A and B are shown apart, each in its own frame.
Chain A
Amino acid sequence: QVQLQQSGPGLVKPSQTLSLTCAISGDSVSSNSVTWNWIRQSPSRGLEWLGRTYYRSKWDSDYAVSVKSRIVINPETSKNQFSLQLNSVTPEDTAVYYCARLRRGGFDFWGQGTLVTVSS
């Protein structure tokens, strides 16, 4: 059974960097049949896909246009996990953040969610 365990702070100051990690068990971050994603959810924006990383003979990542200039998603193969960094956060980035595996087009496993509040 695949499990995703998120970690990271729940409070970030404006203009600073939001950093979260998603540890994978039961699968490999290097699997070439899935992608590893970050999604956030807020009352104002609903469910919003932020970006993904995946391995297909080489590593690649792609991001939502809304955050493309501020986001990095990286695999960490030695720890079988992947990470999210979102720079220059504002209160609009306050949301519940989820990591999730995408397979056959659907997100079939999710992390537990992390409420991240952007406030001074």
Chain B
Amino acid sequence: DIQMTQSPSSLSVSVGDRVTITCRASQSISTSLNWYQQKPGKAPNLLIYAASSLQSAVPSRFSGSGSGTDFTLTINSLQPEDFATYYCQQSYSSPVTFGQGTKVDIK
């Protein structure tokens, strides 16, 4: 199975900050990488697919980049509703696998 490793595990930020979360795959996955946001008690919500494509209805302050083994999720000007846990997920090979999550909370 392909292992997905996110960093950091958590970070404390302020509204308006720029946030960067990284995800590393244990082998090359081309651009088969997706990002999700999850709030407590809710299902994950797809933000970015294919490494850099913005899912419908997702605000443009979210962006993704990367290919191969290293990927980045960037949130520009963090809003109060963005405090949540973020996960990466590879769809390059079965089984799909997820990162362990990055919790973004209020400084």
Q: Which residues of the partner chain A approach B49 to less than 8 Å between Cβ atoms?
A: 104-106, 108
CB-based contact B50/A107 at 8 Å: no
Q: Which residues of the partner chain B approach A65 to less than 8 Å between Cβ atoms?
A: 95
CB-based contact B94/A107 at 8 Å: no
Selected from B34, B44, B97, B100, the residue in CB contact (under 8 A) with A105 is B34
Which residue of B is nearest A112, CB measured? B43
Selected from A48, A62, A106, the residue in CB contact (under 8 A) with B46 is A106
CB-based contact A111/B46 at 8 Å: no
Which secondary structure dominates chain B's binding surface? Answer: loop
Is the CB of A113 closer than 8 A to any CB of chain B? Answer: yes
Is the CB of B87 closer than 8 A to any CB of chain A? Answer: yes
Task: A48 to B4: give the CA distance in the assembly, Å.
Answer: 12
Is the CB of B55 closer than 8 A to any CB of chain A? Answer: yes
Number of interface residues of B (CB under 8 A): 21
Q: Which residues of the partner chain B approach A104 to less than 8 Å between Cβ atoms?
A: 49-50
Selected from A46, A48, A49, A106, the residue in CB contact (under 8 A) with B101 is A46
Q: Known contacts A46-B100, A46-B101: does B46 contact A108 (CB below 8 Å)?
A: yes
Which residue of A is nearest B51, CB measured? A105
Selected from A48, A102, A105, A113, the residue in CB contact (under 8 A) with B43 is A113
CB-based contact B94/A62 at 8 Å: yes
Is the CB of B32 closer than 8 A to any CB of chain A? Answer: yes
Interface residues of A (CB under 8 A from B): 46-49, 62, 64-65, 98, 100, 102, 104-108, 110-113
Interface residues of B (CB under 8 A from A): 32, 34, 36, 42-46, 49-50, 55, 87, 89, 91, 94-98, 100-101
